[in-house]
Amino acid sequence: MQQLHPDDLIWRNARLATMDPAHTAPYGMAESSAIVVRGQTILAVLPESDVPAGHSKVVDLQGRLVTPGLIDCHTHLIFGGNRAAEWEQRLNGVSYQAISAQGGGINATVTATRSSSPDTLQELAQRRLQRLMNEGVTTIEIKSGYGLNADAEEKMLQVARQLARNNPVEISPTLLSAHAVPAEYRHDPDAYLTLVCEQIMPALWQKGLFDAVDVFCENVGFTPSQTERVFQAATALGIPVKGHVEQLSNLGGAALVSRFKGLSADHIEYLDEAGVQAMAQSGTVAVLLPGAFYFLQERQRPPVEQLRKQGIPIAVATDYNPGTSPFASLHLAMNMACVQFGLTPEEAWAGVTRHAAQALGRGATHGQLKAGYVADFIVWDAHHPVEMVYEPGRNPLYQRIFRGEAV
């Protein structure tokens, strides 16, 4: 280890679930260990016996558990209104088609989001974000996609930027203008995609408002050829891509994302062997979203065993949104991923740390307790990481460290 500076901070006497695959123990566990932080970065992870004597800046964690900060790599956190009444209608037997004909579905959220002021959207999103931060989230992806025109999409992404300024959390914004066809373009979706590819995407990218481009490639969204058009436009600008794919049917969306070396393929309940092979070759992360699977009462599970066999990184996220996954709890998503999809608790933890970091293009800097990584970590009043997966209603968070500072 390098010579310590007087301002270096040592968090000692801890049980570390490093999530570092170089550690052979489950969860990368390192008993009786310490983390040395310099500025916003982890300088070293070392045994308690190697902590230098006499250093002035030391925090004794009294044997508590420490994990990397949690990463929610797929959310739709910013939107106006809610769809609670629509959900009740569905449970009372009203069809989705009938609800949509009445102005419901995603169009209801688009209408509410377009009519909401930036301050209102920020206030609503702040409450949702706070619930996730309270569970230990230190990095979160937030998508646009409920504006579906230039002004409203920019409004959403500006709100995300302001949330990042106001909170001790890292936000990775994603442009999801190709989420649905807005009502004014219902008879000409290709004209809408021209607007997305030639105006919305380049203008907002030039303003630095997002990190990646997403497309909902599905029978109720956009076709593979339309999706490819968006990916080509993004690639020409040097923008990473990802996709909502294979959620309700198999259109080959995951293979398409993989062809463009996409960061992640998300949902993937209907992923086939060809899609699995394509993802394995491209390094695309599989993002599981069990909240939507539960809320929509789906039956087709993602092919977890095939993903395992091919060594594809598996991430887990909340998919927080008003229509299909209104759950601002990453602990609950981890539990659902285990109960519904058959992940092990250790896989669920990898899914909200190092694999979620990979899904956001941050695999070399986030999601592990390791020298050179950002100093985002959580101290828990818990003995073992499985506790947060096993009992999602109980939150044993003791302290949240973001960029080396307790917040």
Rounded to the nearest integer, the mean pLDDT of the chain is 96
277-296 pLDDT, tens digit each: 999 999 999 999 999 999 99
Q: What percent of the chain lies above the pLDDT cut of 70?
A: 100
Residue type, 286: A
User: Can you tell me the mean pLDDT for 12-30?
Assistant: 97
The closest of 273, 311, 319 to 142, measured between CA atoms, is 319
Cα-Cα end-to-end distance for the chain: 27
Q: What is the 3-state secondary structure (H, E, C) of the chain?
A: CCCCCCCCEEEEEEEEECCCCCCCCHHHEEEEEEEEEECCEEEEEEEHHHCCCCCCCEEECCCCEEEECEEECCCCCCCCCCCHHHHHHHHCCCCHHHHHHCCCCHHHHHHHHHHCCHHHHHHHHHHHHHHHHHCCEEEEEEECCCCCCHHHHHHHHHHHHHHHHHCCCEEEEEEEEECCCCHHHCCCHHHHHHHHHHHHHHHHHHCCCCCEEEEEECCCCECHHHHHHHHHHHHHCCCCEEEEECCCCCCCHHHHHHHCCCCEEEECCCCCHHHHHHHHHHCCEEEECHHHHHHCCCCCCCCHHHHHHCCCCEEECCCCECCCECCCCHHHHHHHHHHHHCCCHHHHHHHCCHHHHHHCCCCCCCCCCCCCCECCEEEECCCCCHHHHHCCCCCCEEEEEECCEEC
pTM of the model: 0.98
- Ranges of each domain in the chain: 9-69+368-406, 70-359
pLDDT for 250? 98
Decide: 70 and 136 in contact? Cβ < 8 Å.
Answer: yes
pLDDT range class, residue 1, cuts 50, 70, 90: low
CA angle 196, 197, 198 (to 5 degrees): 100
User: What's the pLDDT score for residue 297?
Assistant: 92
Residue 98: per-residue pLDDT: 81
Average of pLDDT values for 352-369? 98
Residue 80 to residue 117: CA distance in whole angstroms: 9
CA angle centred on 173, ends 170 and 179, rounded to 5°: 150
Which class in CATH covers the domain with range 9-69+368-406?
mainly beta
Task: Provide the token pair at 84.
Answer: 């609670």
pLDDT in tens, 372-402: 999 999 999 999 999 999 999 999 999 999 9
Within a 13 Å sphere around the CA of 6, how many CA atoms are in the beta-carbon half? 0
Average pLDDT on 249-273 reads: 98
Predicted local distance difference test score (pLDDT) of residue 103: 78
pLDDT over 90 percentage in the chain: 93
**Tokens matching residue 349:** 């933890």
What pLDDT score was predicted for residue 204?
A: 98
Rounded Cα–Cα distance for residues 142 and 131 (Å): 15
Q: Which of 259, 267, 242, 40 is nearest to 141 (CA)?
A: 242
- The β-bridge partners of 129 are none
pLDDT above 80: residue 2: no
Contacts of 66 (CB under 8 A, 6+ apart): 11, 14, 15, 16, 17, 35, 369, 377, 378, 379, 380
**pLDDT of the residue at 15:** 98
The mean pLDDT of 248-254, rounded to a whole number, is 97
Task: State which amino acid sits at residue 343.
Answer: L
What's the pLDDT at 99? 82
pLDDT in tens, 200-210: 999 999 999 99
pLDDT for 81-138, tens place per residue? Answer: 999 999 999 899 988 768 877 878 888 999 999 999 999 999 999 999 999 999 999 9
At the top level of CATH, which class does the domain 70-359 belong to? alpha beta
